[in-house]
A = this chain, B = another copy of it.
Amino acid sequence: MGGLKYLCYVLLGPMIFFTFCLHATMAGKVLVFPVDGSHWINMHVMIEGLHARGHEVTVVRTSTSWYIKESSPHYKSITVTLPEAVFIEDPDFFVSFLSKMLEINRQGGSPLAFMKFLWEMFTTLAKIHQQASQLVVEMFENKALMEELRATHYDVALIDPGIPAGVLVAHKLELPIVFNVRWITSGEGHFVVAPSPVSYVPTSGCAVSNQMTFGERVKNALRYIINVCSDHFIVTPPYNALMARYFGPDANFYHLLQGVDLWLMRVDFVFEFPRPTMPNIIYIGGFQCKPAKPIPAELQEFVDGSGEHGLIVMSLGTLVKGLPIDITSEIAAAFAQLPQRVIWRHLGEQPSNLGNNTLLVKWLPQNDLLGHPKTRLFVTHGGTNGVYESIYHGVPVVGVPLLFDQFENMLRLKVRGAAKIVDVATLDSQVFLTAIQEVLHQPSYRDNMQRLSRLHKDRPMHPLESALYWIEFVMRHKGAAHLRTESYKMPWYSYHSLDVVGLLLAVLLTLVGVVVLIVRFLSLRLCRRQKPKLE
């Protein structure tokens, strides 16, 4: 029976794949607008999938792209040269941005520090979107390019709306749009398209859980207001200016986003807190995860040497070249005191106090290492990719969040008892060591992460298959109008039924008024009749 079961499993995969390939009779054309950095790693997985199914993929990139290569076996590319180099495509930007943020972080939670933080975030956001919107101008003004794009008759635009410039281009080309999304404008994707009661839905940028105290709810609501203002005054103005210029004065950029056909949301509810959603949101959180492959021989030797104590993997992701040397030295000192072996993806200056058990590498096969049976712990900044890979492989986490959503991501794992967070502002070797030892030796961390892993893997279809299925769905049916509401077209007071409530209140008050008048009139009449009797 076991052999039969095995045979069945072994045959099933290729059979499904082959049938899918045969099913995809229509080899379509996909126009992709990606975001650079870690987002691209994700998007590339999807592009490989589309390519494998016979679709023709075209990627729009800038000439200063960092991760997105011009030539690839999986896609053709269109390179757009912007008036100035895109600053967020420069790795050095993140080094200086991180050091500013660390500086602010070290000032603790003071209002002044928070104001500084907001100022940094807002000026950066404004600059990012001001630059990104230039992509639209360059493309729209290049008549030959637009003509060529139009003549290609793409079936769908696949866009990471972290940088939403592609939405305008797709709109110009009248293409159905699929988002590969977690972040958009000033926050998480749901906030643009689904009802999001801030009483239990944590706002982007606010590291609170879905069960908040009154104080946390106030904080969450304030952060929501800040995000709405940021959307309104900082992120969308450059795009709205282009909407007015190219689509007329009534065109509304936010409505373009809200009218997108399908949202492939890089979210899974083993990680995200449950919250309202919409029929055109497909959850693909962890779609990049896959079983581990064998690791390279030189690493294998190092890992094998870890014996019963096992391995710790550390990486701070694609954006950050390195932490300041004072912090990395504290980390190195803590690692040196452990019986485990450590593989640490490290760029920048090397700490002098490195233990014999610690191997620094410029790059590591993260998924394969996390899936290695000897791996006991993952030390991460809390980027989405790493978090999902740790969930997939059931490896508990010590988190050192540095920027952006990393604080919220780590909080979600912490609330589930699967991670411990170390504040980089107060990190020293003792604090770091204690955190690591706690996660290594308290079985609850591993048990909880393994439970999340089982829940995450238990789904009818792998999230990548699901993503590809729904992209093809939109290609087949030229959109997915039946899955999306057009409620965003209503005025806000109508959407919230304030006009109806106003009318009903007016009717009610009028009725009450009439009744009061009648009662007063009758009582007056009665009094008049009764008075003579009394006299």
Which A positions have Cβ atoms within 8 angstroms of B? 4-5, 8-9, 11-12, 15-16, 18-19, 22, 194-195, 197-200, 210-211, 214, 217-218, 221-222, 269-270, 273-280, 283, 454-455, 458, 460-461, 465-466, 469, 473, 476-477, 482-487, 490, 494-497, 499-501, 503-504
- Taking a contact as CB atoms under 8 Å apart, the answer to whether A269 and B274 are in contact is no
The 8 A-B pairs with the shortest beta carbon distances in the complex, nearest first, are: A200-B487, A195-B195, A274-B485, A221-B500, A5-B22, A199-B497, A274-B279, A276-B276
- Taking a contact as CB atoms under 8 Å apart, the answer to whether A211 and B486 are in contact is yes
Q: What is the CA–CA distance of A469 and B461 in the complex, to the nearest angstrom?
A: 11
Q: A221-B501, A277-B279 are known contacts; what are 10 more A-B pairs with Cβ within 8 Å?
A: A4-B22, A12-B15, A195-B195, A195-B197, A210-B487, A217-B494, A221-B497, A269-B279, A274-B483, A274-B484
Query: Residue of B at shortest CB range from A217?
Result: B500
- Given the complex, which residues of B lie within 8 Å of A458, measured CB to CB? 473, 476-477
Q: What is the CA–CA distance of A486 and B197 in the complex, to the nearest angstrom?
A: 13
- Given the complex, which residues of B lie within 8 Å of A217, measured CB to CB? 494, 497, 499-500
Instruction: State the oligomeric state as a number of copies.
Output: 2
Give the contacting residue for A19; candidates B9, B483, B494; CB below 8 A: B9
Query: Residue of B at shortest CB range from A210?
Result: B485
- Taking a contact as CB atoms under 8 Å apart, the answer to whether A198 and B477 are in contact is no
- Taking a contact as CB atoms under 8 Å apart, the answer to whether B482 and A197 are in contact is no
- State how many angstroms separate the Cβ of A506 from the closest Cβ of chain B: 11
- Taking a contact as CB atoms under 8 Å apart, the answer to whether B460 and A503 are in contact is no
- Given the complex, which residues of B lie within 8 Å of A482, measured CB to CB? 269-270, 274, 455
- Taking a contact as CB atoms under 8 Å apart, the answer to whether A12 and B5 are in contact is no
Q: What is the CA–CA distance of A221 and B12 in the complex, to the nearest angstrom?
A: 51
- Given the complex, which residues of B lie within 8 Å of A195, measured CB to CB? 195, 197, 276
Q: What is the CA–CA distance of A496 and B269 in the complex, to the nearest angstrom?
A: 23
- Taking a contact as CB atoms under 8 Å apart, the answer to whether B22 and A15 are in contact is no
9 A-B pairs in the complex with CB atoms less than 8 angstroms apart: A8-B15, A8-B18, A8-B22, A11-B15, A198-B500, A211-B486, A217-B499, A273-B485, A460-B465
- Given the complex, which residues of B lie within 8 Å of A500, measured CB to CB? 198-199, 214, 217-218, 221
Residue from A16, A221, A280, A460 with most neighbouring chain B CB atoms (10 Å):
A460
Give the contacting residue for A197; candidates B198, B210, B283, B495; CB below 8 A: B495
- State how many angstroms separate the Cβ of A16 from the closest Cβ of chain B: 7
- Taking a contact as CB atoms under 8 Å apart, the answer to whether B274 and A277 are in contact is no
Query: Residue of B at shortest CB range from A4?
Result: B22
Query: Residue of B at shortest CB range from A197?
Result: B495
- State how many angstroms separate the Cβ of A150 from the closest Cβ of chain B: 26
- State how many angstroms separate the Cβ of A263 from the closest Cβ of chain B: 13
Q: What is the CA–CA distance of A257 and B6 in the complex, to the nearest angstrom?
A: 41
